Structure 1
Amino acid sequence: MTAYAALIIAYRRRDLVKGVLARLAAQSHPPVAVVIVDNGGDLGDVEAPPGLAAPVQVVTRADNPGYGAAVNEARRAVGDAAPALLVLTHDAEFDAELARRLSEALGSAPDIGAAGPVLRRASDPGAIFSAGGRLTRGGRATHVTREPSTRLSDVDWLDGAIVMFRVDALDAIGGVDEEYFLYFEDVDTSWRLARAGWRTVVDRDAHGAQEPGEHPVYLGMRNMALFARRAGIPRIRRSAAAARRLAEVAASALVRGRPAGVSDGWRGWRDGLQGMSGKPAGRGDDRDG
């Protein structure tokens, strides 16, 4: 099996970090090292739980640079310790066989650059919220919500909550793009891996859970536009995809009795097409996955 280091992306939830560490300690295929990137700057010292033999290193980034920066920080911290990196957000839930199955998935073919589990809702374990994702020709990313038909299925992208990367693949694309901040960097990473000749797969036998949250409409649309611009998607296709996405946002908001946020969405779309990126001024929060 492929040896791996684990990354926990933390943001102001010490209790959740302790839970992820306990789940790593229970792995049948344990990590050789654990890196916690503290994007809130207030985690403090962290003790390894009983059963976790791997050294635990905390890297503090109180400036909260986001998901992509945390992955890249961990990659630098790991060095040559392991050929794979298991990325976990601080609210990721998983069983004791997760790392073994994802490690075997990476090792099953030399061109697999990333592998992830079937993710279910933590509040409703019977509901799949992401068995990988698809990317339309217009640049719209959607989750696959049905059970995969085979153990290993090629997908266009993996949700960033739980994913194991081959380190060589990450290095080949220069790591995760840090300019997105919070959303779409997982889509962009798999897209760039594919362009470099690496496959992204979901493992039907690997299980994880998370409670997906709603992202700000502005950032979701801005980063979708940023990706479409970088991917060279024709204007007609990307505009149609944006209109459909905003229509869905408005419909969902109407059902829930919330403000539609369409104006924020169009503003984000405009800013993304103009190349605006990174953490918007005044934002301090980080993604949960």
Structure 2
Amino acid sequence: MDSVTPYSAVIIAYRRPDLLRELLGRLAAQRARPEHVLVVDNGGDLPADTPTWSDLPLTVITRPDNPGYAVAVNLAREALPGGFLLVLTHDAEFGPELGEALVAALEHTPGAGAAAPVLHRGSEPDRVFSAGGRLTPRGRALHDVSPLEPGAVRRADWLDGAIIMYDRTALDAIDWISEDYFLYFEDVDTGWRLARAGYASIVVGDAVATQEPGLHPTSLGIRNMVLFGRTAGIPRRRTAGAVIRRVAEESAVALTRGHLPPLRAAWRGWRDGVRGLRGKPDVWPPR
């Protein structure tokens, strides 16, 4: 790799040591290998010999209380050297070109603060899951599923948190990842704050990866939307409109599958968001 910019990687691991082993193998096989790897064990169940699983410099921090994605990423602020930072969830799959392609895109795209690959579904590798995301004026976060040609770079409002390469200067400018959310909205907030600080989020056509999108409790999804609406200064009535539309869509899907619509969970999420409840819920997993 011709780049003079090194990078390190942080992995958020949760109760799947088998997937972590495979991921470490992919990092070791990179054409541009990370200088150091930090594994944040949010499940607290990794074996003591985990630091020996790779020939890369590897550090493990154990957080059995599972404080969430943002806390794990923010631990890299002090634990890893400077340069670029590759953030990975333990189920991310990618080829040996990933690190090189993302670093090159950040270096050659003026104003870029974050770069991500085109994500395909693990269960349907030919189907794009996220090629960046867009944010509606009402605070609804939607994935862009349109393809991106090799060599192309596309701007996005936000990037899926499964795989993102950050310029640490950009992270410093926004004081890193907000810990207000829990489960699947930290990435949206980060993209929004990067844009406000003058940094672009980009999707890189030369980098392709796979990951199976996860489900999250309706209550947390709605709570996170309400919290973000408050942060972004979106009037509550507009946030309410986005929430109603989302709940209607989720209810329709639930009914087609023979399930009850998640109305009680949605109400609980709205209530918690309006009350300003942040971070990991006191009761986890939620009932």
Moved more, 150-159 or 215-224: 150-159
CA offsets 1:209-230 (integer angstroms, 9 cap, x no match): 1111211000000001100011
Return the alpha-carbon distance in structure 2 between the equivalents of residues 216 and 8 of structure 1.
23
Return the alpha-carbon distance in structure 1 between the equivalents of residues 47 and 110 of structure 2.
39
Structure 2 residue aligned with 1:27, among 25, 30, 41?
A: 30
Return the alpha-carbon distance in structure 1 between the equivalents of residues 223 and 84 of structure 2.
31
TM-score, scaled to structure 2: 0.94
Match of 1:272 in 2: 273
**8 Å contact 2:131–2:147 — kept in the other structure?**
yes
Q: Does 1:57 align with 2:59?
A: yes
Letter in 2 for 1:38: D
CA offsets 1:125-164 (integer angstroms, 9 cap, x no match): 0111100100000000000011136711000000100000
Match of 2:6 in 1: 3
CA offsets 1:33-85 (integer angstroms, 9 cap, x no match): 00000111111331445xx543100011111100000000122200xx23111
Return the alpha-carbon distance in structure 1 between the equivalents of residues 253 and 96 of structure 2.
36
Letter in 1 for 2:178: D
TM-score, scaled to structure 1: 0.94
Aligned length: 281
Alignment of 1:113-128 (within 5 A): 113-128=113-128
**8 Å contact 1:37–1:60 — kept in the other structure?**
yes
Alignment of 1:214-225 (within 5 A): 214-225=215-226
| Unaligned stretches of 5+ residues in structure 2 | none
**8 Å contact 1:155–1:202 — kept in the other structure?**
yes
**8 Å contact 1:37–1:74 — kept in the other structure?**
no
Return the alpha-carbon distance in structure 1 between the equivalents of residues 256 and 82 of structure 2.
47
Shift of 1:25: 0.7
**8 Å contact 1:249–1:262 — kept in the other structure?**
no
Shift of 1:122: 0.5
**8 Å contact 1:117–1:207 — kept in the other structure?**
yes
Q: CA RMSD in A?
A: 1.5
Match of 1:187 in 2: 188
Q: Does 1:41 align with 2:44?
A: yes
Alignment of 1:243-258 (within 5 A): 243-258=244-259
Match of 1:129 in 2: 129
Shift of 1:247: 0.7
Letter in 2 for 1:25: A
Moved more, 175-184 or 52-61: 52-61
Return the alpha-carbon distance in structure 2 between the equivalents of residues 21 and 35 of structure 1.
11
Return the alpha-carbon distance in structure 1 between the equivalents of residues 236 and 51 of structure 2.
51
Q: Which runs of 4+ in 1 moved over 3 A?
A: none
**8 Å contact 1:153–1:202 — kept in the other structure?**
yes
Return the alpha-carbon distance in structure 2 between the equivalents of residues 158 and 278 of structure 1.
21
When residues 213 and 257 of structure 1 are mapped into structure 2, their CA distance, relative to the original with a 3 A threshold, is farther
Return the alpha-carbon distance in structure 2 between the equivalents of residues 48 and 168 of structure 1.
31
Alignment of 1:124-273 (within 5 A): 124-148=124-148, 151-273=152-274
Shift of 1:109: 2.8
Query: Which secondary structure state, in structure 2, belongs to the residue aligned with residue 125 of structure 1?
Result: coil
Return the alpha-carbon distance in structure 2 between the equivalents of residues 265 and 3 of structure 1.
44
